[in-house]
Amino acid sequence: MGTFRFITAGESHGRGLAAIVEGMVAGLALSEEYIRRDLERRQGGYGRGPRMQIEKDRAELLSGVRHGLTTGSPIAMVIWNKDWENWREVMSVSPTEKGGEPVTRLRPGHADLPGVVKYGLDDVRPILERSSARETATRVAVGAVARRFLEEFGIEIHSHTVAIGGQRAEKVAPPNWDVVERSAVRCADPETEKRMIAAIDKAKEAGDTVGGLFEAVAIGLPVGLGSHVHWDRRLDGRIGQAVMSIPSVKGVEFGAGFAQADQRGSQVHDVIQPGGAKARSWQRPTNRAGGLEGGMTNGQPLLVRAAVKPIATLARPLASVDLRTGQESAAHYERSDVCIVPAAGVIGEAMIAIVLAEAMLEKFGGDSLKEIKRSYLSYPGSLGLEGSR
């Protein structure tokens, strides 16, 4: 059994986006329709741009699945870009007569400046095409594969929007996930939802953008995923890197997060209480650790919160420099979202699912679903003991 991993390819306006997933066990029920549901959730959310009205994302499974079940071999998927029809000349693989006007006006906050310097380019187009958040559609597709695997062990992953444009929801614990899924901004509090929508509208009128916060929750995790023995096996570090890799995410915290820096230890740590007559049974009255201790899951819900900066492409562009002339110029603008916080939460779910699936495969091993389930059911931390699920 190898490591669960994936790689993506493709550009925002290219013919399509591709992903190859390696290390998924054989015998897992998986369908294109199942993956499509998460792709559709990623495309939703108030404040999205016109691109989402063009694309109807669907991942086409090319290999690794036979008669509805994974085979254990690499899973290949492709998401075709409908908008490519309008970009055939600009994004042609072969040389063309027209080629397209080069993009030379650098956008503050994007990969444009470091990208053209790093790769020695005089056109920003190759950089902005690959660094575009459009690439996250493939991550959500891969995350759906991981989610389908985790479901076999009773593990659920959800997300909700905590804040947009300075409008923060009151603590709703636990959120009603049906309400969240129906919300235009994926917020569990209807009153805050109205204020969030108003903040997005105001930013759009000003030619500006807004960011915010999302929280992701994983429920049903066994005790002991991850490890304390090496820095790169600590699960909080792995999840932090995965969520931080989402474009526009600028900060990640677990449980009570940064607020713990101003508190005493007696106010921070979650006391352990007996849970009943069963051996190795316990309870936690609080979850300030966010489900992780010593780089390992402790059986409580995993709580991950991420700060999402405002989109850097503005309808009213910021001042910048033209790469060709070296003179001051307004930044390049094509089109963009006003707010992507709700979508970022769905992408966050996907990245967390990928890390958790990898951790489950590491812990319980096996090349088939039946084999890994046998190992899982024999493990004390996954027998449904109080405090271990």
Least confident of 147-161, 162-176, 228-242, 253-267: 162-176
d(CA 55, CA 283): 47
For residue 241, pLDDT beyond 80? yes
382/197: higher pLDDT: 197
State the average pLDDT over residues 293-317: 95
d(CA 147, CA 38): 10
Could you read off the pLDDT of 342-361 as tens digits, one per residue?
A: 999 999 999 999 999 999 99
Could you read off the pLDDT of 189-237 as tens digits, one per residue?
A: 999 999 999 999 999 999 999 999 999 999 999 999 999 999 999 999 9
Supply the pLDDT for residue 159: 97
d(CA 99, CA 30): 40
* Structural Rg of the chain based on CA atoms: 22
Domain formed by 5-382, architecture: 4-Layer Sandwich (3.60)
Helix, strand, coil share (%) of the chain residues, nearest 5: 35, 20, 45
Supply the pLDDT for residue 386: 38
For residue 387, pLDDT beyond 50? no
Least confident of 1-5, 205-209, 242-246, 302-306: 1-5
317 DSSP assignment: P
- Report helix angle 369-377 to 341-364, nearest 10: 80
Supply the pLDDT for residue 380: 83
Q: Let me know: does 365 contact 375? Beta carbons within 8 Å.
A: yes
- Report helix angle 136-151 to 32-43, nearest 10: 130
Supply the pLDDT for residue 358: 97
Residue 173: CB partners within 8 Å, gap ≥ 6?
Answer: none
* Share of residues in the chain with pLDDT > 70 (%): 95
Q: 10 Å Cβ neighbour count for 78?
A: 19
Residue showing tokens 């055939």: 88
The string of DSSP codes covering 87-130 is STTTT-SS--SS--PPP-BPPTTSSHHHHHHHHT-S-SHHHHHH
Could you read off the pLDDT of 77-135 as tens digits, one per residue?
A: 999 999 888 898 899 999 887 777 899 999 999 999 999 999 999 999 999 999 999 99
Could you read off the pLDDT of 32-85 as tens digits, one per residue?
A: 999 999 999 999 889 887 666 677 899 999 999 999 999 999 999 999 999 888
What dihedral angle (degrees, nearest 10) is formed by the CA atoms of 18, 20, 21, 22? 180
333/248: higher pLDDT: 248
Q: How many alpha carbons lie under 13 Å from residue 7 in its C-beta half-sphere?
A: 4
- Looking at 165-263, which runs of residues are DSSP E strands? 167-168, 212-219, 249-254
Q: Please, which pLDDT band fits residue 274 given cuts at 50, 70 and 90?
A: confident
